[in-house]
Amino acid sequence: MIAPMRKIQELYGEQVEFRYNLNPLGIVESGEKMGAWQENWDFADMKWADIIWTNNISNWGGPYTARIVGKAKEFGKFVHFDTDDLLTDLYKGHRLYDTYKERNLEEITKFIYSNSDLVTVTQRKFAERIKPFCGGVLAIVKNAIDYHLPCWNVPKQPSPRKNMTRVGWAGGIHHEEDIKEFAGIPQLVNSRVGRENVHWGFYGAPQPNLDKDGNHKDEWQHDVWKNYKKIILSGFRGQPNWQIYNALSPDSYGGIYSQIDLAIAPLQMNAFNDSKSEIKVAECGRYKVPLIASDVGCYDETIVNGKTGYLLPANAPKSEWVKVLTKCIKNPKHVKEMGENLHKITEEYFDLNKVVKHRLELYQQSLGLIQGREQEFTPNYNSEWEFND
């Protein structure tokens, strides 16, 4: 999240100084008064800054995030809200759906959109969906990766067996509906290509985090992955040619692609998914891994069938997935060529070191657009928003 800002300061330090504060409003973080406001808080970092930037929803909650915007405007600051999640239309199958509704996060997000000088999102469909709520500049800024980091320079690991294609899926704990799009497909593909010619890797399972009694502290996350396994491997028979891998920390995550030859991204069609970025393209391309994905979101901007991967229609039948995967697994040369093609695109357009300059340009342009605008601001908070929740 903060990598682009740090990179701007690294490359353009004569123009930019960046400070990062997880609690700029001074809420009490622990103890009996946790959630109350600290007395005599001086808002030093907010008063120091020219631009106040916040991303998605703070760990302290939606009302806290809205108050960051309000306080920044009271201090006469330029406010930038950056997000890569469609927070105004969460689908019912999302694990956090009830939380969003109960905490009124959709309306809080609309307030933030309306009162920010600059709102940045990661793709065009997302921008169109929130445009009616934005009161300032709305811009599309693609996600990018710092390819200089060690985890994006891990040597490619050779396949353990000649002509074996390693198919990989990487995801977190909010993909239960998406996984259903891929239910039982590994077994169907095995029967067509031979299980000895394919390995299925599923990356992102929670790391063991046991209490003194040997129980998982995050039991629900492990339950999510148990359900993933049940769905994906439904109907699976015979010798396992699959493995579930634990999640890695952000500074080592990229290395998983060094042991993948072909990546998959099955997605359910809904407004939330259709507004997500194509960050997986940036990840895959760095390691010359072509991507087979549902035609959801903005994958159509970089994935061209047979050139950089394959796009399957949303809600495509299993037979379509099986057909495309079978074709690729039986033709490793084709997979390699597509990976090379995708790599050329991501090296040009998704390397943070090459594109971060455009973020600085966007700030300069946006600041110019609001010069002379009335800066007086009276927060119009909804009385139902509890800031110390």
> Taking the CA of residue 338 as centre, how many other CA atoms within 13 Å lie in the half-sphere pointing to its CB?
27
Closest CA to 46 of 8, 78, 3, 14: 78
Q: Does residue 376 surpass a pLDDT of 50?
A: no
pLDDT given at position 217: 67
For 233-340, where are the E strands, in sequence order?
A: 242-246, 262-265, 291-294, 309-312
Give me the mean pLDDT over the 326-332 stretch: 97
Angle at 341 between CA 338 and CA 344, to 5 degrees: 150
String of b and e for 114-153 (b: at least 16 CB within 10 Å)? ebbbbbbbbbebbbebbeeebebbbbebbbbbbbeeebbe
pLDDT given at position 294: 97
Q: Does residue 144 surpass a pLDDT of 70?
A: yes
Give me the mean pLDDT over the 368-378 stretch: 51
Q: Does residue 33 surpass a pLDDT of 50?
A: yes
Q: Does residue 384 surpass a pLDDT of 70?
A: no
8 A C-beta contact, residue 284 and residue 262: no
List the beta bridge partners of residue 216: 210
CB contact set of 192 (below 8 Å; sequence gap of 6+): 322, 326
Given 3-state DSSP classes, what are the helix, strand and coil percentages for the chain, each rounded to the nearest 5?
40, 15, 45
One-letter amino acid for residue 317 of the chain: P
pLDDT given at position 372: 46
- Burial class for 367, CB neighbours closer than 10 Å (0-12, 13-18, 19+): middle
pLDDT band at 377 (very low <50, low <70, confident <90, very high): very low
**For 73, phi and psi rounded to 5 degrees?**
-70, -35
Token pair listed for 73: 């405007």
pTM of the model: 0.89
- Write out the DSSP string of 54-86: EESS-TT-HHHHHHHHHHHHHTT-EEEEE-SS-
Look at residue 114 and give its three-state secondary structure. helix
Distances in Å between the alpha carbon of 9 and those of 58, 118, 146, 357? 23, 20, 14, 10
- The Cα–Cα gap between 306 and 123 comes to 23
pLDDT given at position 371: 56
pLDDT given at position 47: 97
List the beta bridge partners of residue 311: 293
pLDDT given at position 253: 92
- Maximum Cα–Cα distance across the chain: 70
Question: What is the sign, positive or negative, of the torsion defined by CA atoms of 18, 24, 28, 29?
Answer: negative
Query: pLDDT: is 363 or 214 the higher one?
Result: 363
pLDDT tens digit string along 220-278? 888 999 999 999 999 898 899 999 999 998 889 999 999 999 999 999 999 999 999 99
One-letter amino acid for residue 143 of the chain: N
Q: Does residue 132 surpass a pLDDT of 50?
A: yes
Residue 238 CB: number of other CB atoms within 10 A?
Answer: 9
List the beta bridge partners of residue 251: none
Q: Does residue 139 surpass a pLDDT of 50?
A: yes
> What's the whole-number average pLDDT of the chain?
90
- Write out the DSSP string of 151-172: GGSPPPPPPSSTT-EEEEEE--
Q: Does residue 374 surpass a pLDDT of 50?
A: no
Please report which helix (H) or strand (E) contains residue 3, including its range.
helix 3-11
8 A C-beta contact, residue 147 and residue 353: yes
pLDDT given at position 370: 60
pLDDT tens digit string along 149-175? 999 999 999 998 888 999 999 998 889
Give me the mean pLDDT over the 65-80 stretch: 95
How do 118-121 and 291-294 pair as beta strands?
unpaired
Give all strands of the β-sheet with 51-55 in edge-to-edge order: 51-55, 78-82, 118-121, 137-140
- Burial class for 95, CB neighbours closer than 10 Å (0-12, 13-18, 19+): middle
pLDDT tens digit string along 175-232? 989 999 999 999 999 999 999 999 999 999 998 776 776 676 668 888 999 999 999 9
Give me the mean pLDDT over the 317-321 stretch: 96
pLDDT band at 70 (very low <50, low <70, confident <90, very high): very high
